[in-house]
Amino acid sequence: MTLTNATPFIAGNWKMHKTVAEADELVSQLMAASADMMEAEVVVIPPFTALNKVKNTLCESPIQLGAQNMYWEDQGAYTGEISPPMLVEAGCRYVVIGHSERRQFFGETNETVNKKIKAALYHGLLPILCVGESLEEREKGETMAKVGRQLSEGLEGLTPEQFSQVIIAYEPIWAIGTGLTATPEQAQEVHAFIREKLSENYGNTACSCAIILYGGSVKPANAFSLLKEKDINGALVGGAALKADSFIELVKESIRAYREK
Ligand code: PGA
């Protein structure tokens, strides 16, 4: 499968929200609006416990399924972890790797992120690699250095072909769940840097097609201005993905932005 950024890519990360019953209700509401979302790649990312049920409900729907995390081994004595083959079996196409909450609360490092990226690709899962700076790093002018390091260490050892299966999500930590969004200009500046930096390793062609998402308090009211920016190809959405009407509106706004780009 070749990834392309010709249409907007909108992924709803439900984090530790939604019981199985609630997840099923939300995805059913989203499916009812599928016709309005055809021009986007729409992905739902429920907690592990709801993956199976959500996949069964989605059935042949164009809405895709993703997972929030995984371990890099196939199986073994790793209490509490979930392996790539388990996610494949559950019907996942995508997996989020290195979300800032995983780095902050669960000790993930660029090194573990790299192992996970390689394991995901090996099993045919498409990783969504999250990168982003803290407020302190931004204020000290270290944003690009931090993001650059997360990219080079997180993607270390990947061939250009492997890289073509990776999605990047720029998520400034200070904007996640805070209601503070990077301005479109701030986000575009980092997205352009990411594309440029990646092209040094993987070539211009691969990088012009790469999907680079923005995440951090994206909502229906700001999706249009963010996605109008040249290098912003979609969004990784937390809070606004938990209710069907706001997520659907956000997808529609993203499609509208892409049409006007
Ligand atoms: P938020 O979360 O939209 O609630 O800020 C985004 C994310 O963590 O991916």
- Torsion-angle region of 234 (φ positive above 0: left; ψ -120 to 50: alpha; else: beta): left
Per-residue pLDDT of the chain (261 residues; tens, 9 = 90+): 679 999 999 999 999 999 999 999 999 999 999 999 999 999 999 999 999 999 999 999 999 999 999 999 999 999 999 999 999 999 999 999 999 999 999 999 999 999 999 999 999 999 999 999 999 999 999 999 999 999 999 999 999 999 999 999 999 999 998 888 899 999 999 999 999 999 999 988 888 999 999 999 999 999 999 999 999 999 999 999 999 999 999 999 999 999 999
Domain 9-259 - what CATH class? Answer: alpha beta
For 98, residues 6+ apart whose C-beta sits below 8 A from its C-beta are 108, 110, 113, 116, 129, 130, 131, 150, 154
Report which ligand 1 atom has the smallest distance to the Cα of 240.
3
Q: How many angstroms does the Cα of residue 203 sit away from the middle of ligand 1? A: 30
Whether the model clears a pTM of 0.85, i.e. scores above it, the answer is: yes
Distance 222 CA to ligand 1 centre (A): 13
- Whether 43 lines ligand 1, by a CB cut-off of 6 Å, is no
Compute the CA torsion angle 85, 240, 22, 87 (nearest 10 deg).
0
Of 43, 170, 237, 247, the residue with max ligand 1 atoms within 8 A of its CB, to mutate for a pocket test, comes to 237
